[in-house]
Amino acid sequence: MSRFCFSAYIQVGDNRYRERYGLNFEDFKPGQVFHHRPGVTISQQDNVEECINTYNQAMIHFDNHYAAQTEFKKPLIDTTLIVQRLMGMTWKTYNRRKSILQWGCIDMLLPVYGGDTLYAESEVLSVDSDFRDSESGMIEVAVRSNNQRGEQTCEMRCSMSIYKRDRLPFSVNNY
């Protein structure tokens, strides 16, 4: 059963609407699971560029001959690239984020290879309205990736502050 729970548009005039991304702090509850779409297919070229950009010299990420002699048989996608893509896929849900406060575990459960498509989901683990900042509350989430075969490849945890309803800068800037 599908039904709309959170509005993605705000009426700003007669027959005029503006897109609205992200949920307010008050919209989050422990146990909520969000499926983030679209997925993203990571190429080996993406992987090589990430290794160059981060000075990652590990041959397992870009040397086919070397990787063929390992248990993985082909180059692995760099973990930092996977984390970047996962966080990027969650942006619409957590767009009202003020800051990322803490990273927890990053567990790589299965290898990710060039050509794999990742889909993200996140689960709200806890909500703290008594956070030190009156403009925002704190949520802790688990972000998971599943590949095109539905296998979970990664899970990571982070906590972030999310602006409360009608708080700056979104209210003042008409978001």
**How many domains in the chain?**
1
Q: Is the pTM of this model over 0.85?
A: yes
Over residues 114-126, the mean pLDDT reads: 98
pLDDT over threshold 60, residue 130: yes
Over residues 21-38, the mean pLDDT reads: 94
Looking up residue 156, the CATH number of its domain turns out to be 3.10.129.10
Local structure of residue 166 (DSSP, 8 states):
T
Question: What is the reported pLDDT for 16?
Answer: 85
> Do the domain assignments include residue 105?
yes
Question: What is the reported pLDDT for 131?
Answer: 82
> Do the domain assignments include residue 14?
no
Question: What is the reported pLDDT for 77?
Answer: 97
First-to-last alpha carbon distance for the chain, in angstroms, is 30
> Do the domain assignments include residue 107?
yes
> Do the domain assignments include residue 143?
yes
Q: What is the pLDDT of residues 37-78, one digit of tens each?
A: 999 999 999 999 999 999 989 999 999 999 999 999 999 999
> Do the domain assignments include residue 55?
yes
Per DSSP, the three-state class of 138 is strand
> Do the domain assignments include residue 68?
yes
Structural domain containing residue 116: 24-163
> Do the domain assignments include residue 171?
no
Residues with Cβ < 8 Å from 74, sequence gap 6 or more? 64, 67, 68, 113, 114
Phi and psi at 80, nearest 5°, equal: -65, -35
Question: What is the reported pLDDT for 12?
Answer: 80
